[in-house]
Structures are given as C-alpha cells and as structure tokens.
Amino acid sequence: MHNATLNAKMHNITLTQLTDSYLKTFNKDLALLKISNCQFDKIEKDAFDHLKHLNLLDLSNNKIKEKIHPQTFTKLPSLEILILKNVGIHDLELNLSNVEELILSENDIEDVKENSIQGHNVNYLDLSHNKIKEMNNSLKTMYKLSMIDLSKNNIEHVGKNVFEDNHNLLRILAPGNKLTSTEGFKLPKLKSLDLFGNKLISLKSNSFDKMFFLEELGLAANQIQRIEDPFSDLYELKFLNLAWNHIDEIKPSLFRNNLYLSHLSLQGNRIQSLKRFDAILNHLVKLDLSHNGLEIIDGEFFTSTPNLNVLDLSFNNIKVLSNSLQPLNNLKIIDLAFNKINLTGFEFYKNHQLARVNLSYNGLEASLKNFKNNVFLTDLDLSNNAISNFCNSNEKKFESLCVVDLRNNPLICGKDLDELVVGLAIKKISPFKINQIQSDISRDQCKTTGT
C-alpha cells in the first residue's frame, strides 16, 4: 500500500541541476518533496516523472536561470501543491493537469500571457511579490480558481473581462499595487476583495455594482477623497475598511443598504463631524473613528449603531460627550484617548456591559464618582491627565475593577487612595499581584495631605 506520509527534504546543499538520474535515487512512493536553497539553476524535463505519488513539491529559494519546460510536471498525476517561490522565474509557461495550489510568489514575472498557465484544477494561485504591470485575460482556463493573490506587484490596470471565465472566484487579494479603478473586479460571486494601498482617488456609484455577495471589502491606505454611492449593491457586506484615506464627509445615506455590516473602519481620515446614519445598522459591533478631526458627534448618531461592542474615538478633538453614548447599551470597550474631554460634573453614561475605558491624554479631572454607573469595569486607563483627587466613598462598589492606570497625574495621596490600591491588588487574586495596578502611586511619588 502506498504510504502517503513518505517525504524527503533537502535544504542548503549544492546542486547544479535537478536531473532524472539524481531524483531516481529517491523512493518512488514519495508524497512530499522539498528541495530549497540548493542553488540549482536547471530542471530536466523528465526529472520528476517517476514520482507518481508525489502530492506536494516545494522548490522554493533556488535560482532557476533556464526556463522550466511546460511539460515538466505533467506526468505527476497526484501532484496537488506546487511551490515555486523565489526561484527567479521570468517567463511563465506551465502545463499543470492536477495541481490545485500554485505558489509563484517572489519571482520576476512581469507578464502573465494568455494560456501561459494551463491549470484546470487550480483553485488557489499566488502571484504576489512579482513585477506584473497589467492583468489580461490570461487565467481563463482556470475554471476552478477560487482565490488569487496579486499582492505587491506593479499592476495599474485590470481589464473589464479579465476574470469573466473564473466563475468560482471568491477572493481577490491585490494590496500594494497602483490601481486607480475597480473596473476589473466586479464579479457577481466575489465574497472578498482587498485593495489596500493602491491609488484609488474616488468611489463612484458603479464602483462595485452587481457585487451582491461581497462580504469583505478592504480599501484602506488609498487616496480616496470623494465617495458617491458605491455600496448600494453590497447587501451582504460585513467588513468594510476605509482607513487612512482623505475622506472628510460620511453621508447619512452611504450605508443604507449595508444592513449586515459588522465591522467598519474609518480610521485616519479627515472627518470632523458625524450625522446619524439613515439606516439602523443593528449588526455593527465594531466602529473605528480614531485619528480623524472629530469635534462634534450628533447627539443621535449612535441610535443608528445600537449594538456596538467596540468603539474607538481616540486621537480626535472631542470636548463634550453629552448624552451621545447613551444608546450604546451593549458597548464593552471604548477608547477616548488623546481628545480634549472634560468630565467635571459629568457622570460617564450608564452601561452595565462596559468593561474597558481608555480616557488617557485628555487633560481631565476625574474621580471614581464619574464612573458610578459602570460598576462592572475591569480596566480603566486615566493616565496622563490632571487628576488630583480620585477616591470617594463609592470605590468599594467596583467589584470587577482589576486594572487602574493613573500614571502621570498630580495625585494627592491619602488613606482613601491607599485603600483603593491595596484593595485592587488583593481582590480575587493575591496580595503579591500589586503589579496588576499600572500606576506609580506611592507616598514618595505623590503630594502628601499632611496625614
């Protein structure tokens, strides 16, 4: 019986070329063969012909100067995974009858010509980290292709019909290219599209039309300034990343058809104000609005995102929270660091789900009484503020509080503060867990009260 686990690995040995006579010294029942960093520059056409049971072949990190013959791998009926990573390939012409996963990353491929890869069974193709400038209709025989990685090439244009014959294509990765348009990616069955770090300037109304099943869309780190109505056909969209662009306005109607949206990142844009969305996004659980110029949040904005679990508003210019957070009854984590918030006379909004709050670097004065409505807090960061008096008679209500960060505050020490520190340190843990408290509270580091 064929032993499917039989394998051989060679690494960092010197071979001038891979020949039939050399490879015949290996067991013909090999299922896995890895020959990496061996410096060979040529592969004989029939080198692997006797390895009829070979399932995985990895030839990574060699420098093959002579073009690989198209028929080199055709007599391997069991070959499912072929890895030709960083082998110096320039010209591409391969006939692969049974290969399902083809890795061609980190080569010098500039052009994928029509029919240069004959692979009817390939479902995963990795062409990342090459020098490809344009995608033409070169993959049309890959009928089973479900995922393609085009990351880190020089692609400027993908033609309208490039993937029209790849009816099973579900995921496209194309970050780190020079794309200015989404034209070639509008496939009705596509579920995931990553265009991180390209050169998109605007999103038009037809940028993603008829992509009814798209669930993940990555558009971060482009140069997007203008957004018309590009998401209206994306009824199944769950993850949308628009971080680090030049967006200065989010229209209330923008996500009206994206009712299943669960994660939305608008980090690192130029948004100064927010108005309530037209649609109620009941499935949205994570919203990142950090690193914007936010000053004003409409008092009713969060009524359109009632089920948020995680909210990041750090690195903005927010001064007043008022009651805008009140609709967020399910919020567990909120980051408000690096704003201009003043909590004087203001009680943080009532929420029994809230576990972690970051209000560092706000210049605020606060005490535990500001958080008396958040008795299930576990982690409270108030470092780098202007807090002098922190304790009051309510501190024993905070039975879940494990970490308080009060570093770099002008704290006035006294009996109440000492009791809080010790109480937090021993609670449900042990008296030796004093490092659980991320603060530099001690009598020789604080002002004294004369007690």
User: Which pLDDT band, with edges at 50, 70 and 90, does 156 fall under?
Assistant: very high
Residue 416 pLDDT:
57
143-175 b/e (C-beta count within 10 Å ≥ 16 → b): bebbbbbbbbbebbbbeeebbeebeebbbbbbb
Strands 134-135 and 157-158 turn out to be parallel
Residue 3 pLDDT:
44
252-293 pLDDT per residue, tens = 999 999 999 999 999 999 999 999 999 999 999 999 999 999
Mean pLDDT check: name the lowest of 217-231, 393-407, 416-430: 416-430
Q: How many helices (H) and strands (E) does the chain have?
A: 2, 26
8-46 pLDDT per residue, tens = 888 888 888 898 888 888 889 999 999 999 988 899 999
Overall residue count recorded for the chain in this entry: 451
How many angstroms from the chain centroid is the CA of residue 451?
A: 52
Phi-psi sector, 106: left (phi>0), alpha (psi -120 to 50), beta: left
Write the CB contacts of 21 (distance below 8 Å, at least 6 apart in sequence): none
User: Which pLDDT band, with edges at 50, 70 and 90, does 449 fall under?
Assistant: very low
pLDDT at 244 over 90: yes
Give the residue extent of every domain in the chain.
342-451
- Cβ-contact 368, 401 below 8 angstroms: no
User: Which pLDDT band, with edges at 50, 70 and 90, does 418 fall under?
Assistant: low
Q: What does the radius of gyration of the chain's CA atoms come to, in whole angstroms? A: 29
User: Which pLDDT band, with edges at 50, 70 and 90, does 440 fall under?
Assistant: very low
Residue 431 pLDDT:
34
User: Which pLDDT band, with edges at 50, 70 and 90, does 309 fall under?
Assistant: very high
Report DSSP state, residue 43. B
Of 137, 129, 188, 128, the C-alpha closest to 158 is: 137
Residue 299 pLDDT:
85
103-128 pLDDT per residue, tens = 999 999 999 988 889 999 999 999 99
State how far the alpha carbon of 191 is from the alpha carbons of 135, 155, 172, in Å: 20, 21, 9
**pLDDT (mean) for 290-318:** 95
Mean pLDDT check: name the lowest of 49-63, 77-91, 297-311, 315-329: 315-329
User: Which pLDDT band, with edges at 50, 70 and 90, does 451 fall under?
Assistant: very low
pLDDT at 413 over 70: no
Q: Is the dihedral of CA 189, 195, 198, 199 positive or negative?
A: positive
H helices present in 397-450, as ranges? 415-426
Q: Is the dihedral of CA 393, 394, 399, 405 positive or negative?
A: negative
Residue 391 pLDDT:
72
Write the CB contacts of 27 (distance below 8 Å, at least 6 apart in sequence): 6, 8
Mean pLDDT check: name the lowest of 172-186, 191-205, 420-434: 420-434
State how far the alpha carbon of 22 is from the alpha carbons of 16, 37, 91, 324, 328, in Å: 11, 17, 26, 73, 68
Phi-psi sector, 197: left (phi>0), alpha (psi -120 to 50), beta: left
CA distance 291 to 157: 31
**pLDDT (mean) for 425-449:** 40
Distance between first and last Cα of the chain? 85
Q: What average pLDDT does the chain have?
A: 88
* Highest mean pLDDT, choosing among 181-185, 241-245, 401-405: 241-245
* β-sheet bridge partners, residue 9: 34
- Cβ-contact 210, 188 below 8 angstroms: yes
Write the CB contacts of 444 (distance below 8 Å, at least 6 apart in sequence): none
**pLDDT (mean) for 321-327:** 85
- Cβ-contact 229, 252 below 8 angstroms: no
367-400 pLDDT per residue, tens = 777 888 888 899 999 999 998 887 754 555 667 8
pLDDT at 308 over 50: yes
pLDDT at 434 over 60: no
335-366 pLDDT per residue, tens = 999 999 887 666 788 888 999 999 999 988 87
Question: How buried is residue 225: exposed, middle or buried, by Cβ count under 10 Å (0-12/13-18/19+)?
Answer: middle
CA distance 157 to 151: 14
How many angstroms from the chain centroid is the CA of residue 444?
A: 45
Residue 421 pLDDT:
58
CA distance 228 to 236: 19
CATH code of the domain occupying 342-451: 3.80.10
How many angstroms from the chain centroid is the CA of residue 182?
A: 20
